[in-house]
């Protein structure tokens, strides 16, 4: 399983628009093959910081996800609203054979 967590601060003026776009985007991601969980939410300590948590069956499922048109559209949209570069961490718990 691959788990990705992270987030990014967005312009306070963009919170409502990003909220609407995030709901649609997350729903699309949840429909993808290999998706276990996909959540976008707002940080209660930083109200304009959107937080990501996603989980995938395996690395190939995640890699396919990153090629989808809705991911490209979301990446463009969130980049335009962001105050800084996003920070993400990937945790790969997929068993590896030696």
- Look up the CATH number of the domain holding residue 13: 3.30.70.100
Q: Which domain holds residue 31?
A: 2-90
Three-state SS at 69: helix
C-alpha–C-alpha distance, residues 25 and 12, integer Å = 20
**pLDDT surpasses 80 at 59:** yes
Question: Is 40 among the domain residues?
Answer: yes
Query: What is the reported pTM?
Result: 0.90
Three-state SS at 89: strand
Q: What is the enclosing helix (H) or strand (E) of 8?
A: strand 2-9
What are 28-41's pLDDT values in tens digits?
Answer: 999 999 999 999 99
Question: Is 97 among the domain residues?
Answer: no
pLDDT in the model for residue 24: 97
Task: Give the tokens for residue 81.
Answer: 């609203």
pLDDT in the model for residue 95: 72
Three-state SS at 2: strand
**pLDDT surpasses 90 at 97:** no
């Amino acid at each position: 399983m691959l788990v990705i967590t992270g987030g990014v601060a967005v312009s306070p003026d963009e919170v409502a628009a990003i909220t609407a776009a995030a709901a649609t985007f997350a729903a699309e991601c949840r429909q993808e093959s290999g998706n276990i969980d996909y959540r976008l939410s707002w940080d209660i300590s930083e109200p304009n910081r959107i937080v990501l948590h996603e989980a995938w069956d395996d690395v190939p499922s995640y890699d396919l996800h990153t090629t989808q048109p809705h991911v490209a559209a979301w990446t463009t949209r969130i980049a335009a609203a962001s105050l800084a570069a996003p920070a993400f961490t990937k945790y790969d718990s997929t068993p590896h054979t030696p």
